[in-house]
Structure 1
């Protein structure tokens, strides 16, 4: 969980200390969670950032109520997708 502190100099400014979960594959971190800012009405619920070393397999899961957007900053990514919707 990120540590959130309020600025002592500017009212309304918050500092969010992000926590990275690191292992031999790389790292994962939550960069935004709607619940960190209860005073705002954000449409986005959560954003994440991760880094994976070459040859690492991640995933093998699915979401009931979540949409994923990926942005590959360097290197390449292989993605396997399956449409599990009943209407598919």
Structure 2
């Protein structure tokens, strides 16, 4: 894997590799070039595991901004489960 490159794994599934000589950083992505509606999914939150909050950022949801070259993320969404009558 070369820095600052895209590597095709199969079909339209690819890896984007950061331009960084210090360490290897990459993420998988799918490239669509035809117009249409596409579903972008993130991590699933399961309330049954005892957590009362869920947080998504660019590492958990591809719809949020992430600058691979500078390892910069700027967006986060947090949900807090509040029991009825406690607001």
TM value normalised by structure 2: 0.32
Task: Indicate the structure whose relative CO is greater, using CA pairs within 8 Å and at least 6 residues apart.
Answer: 2
TM value normalised by structure 1: 0.32
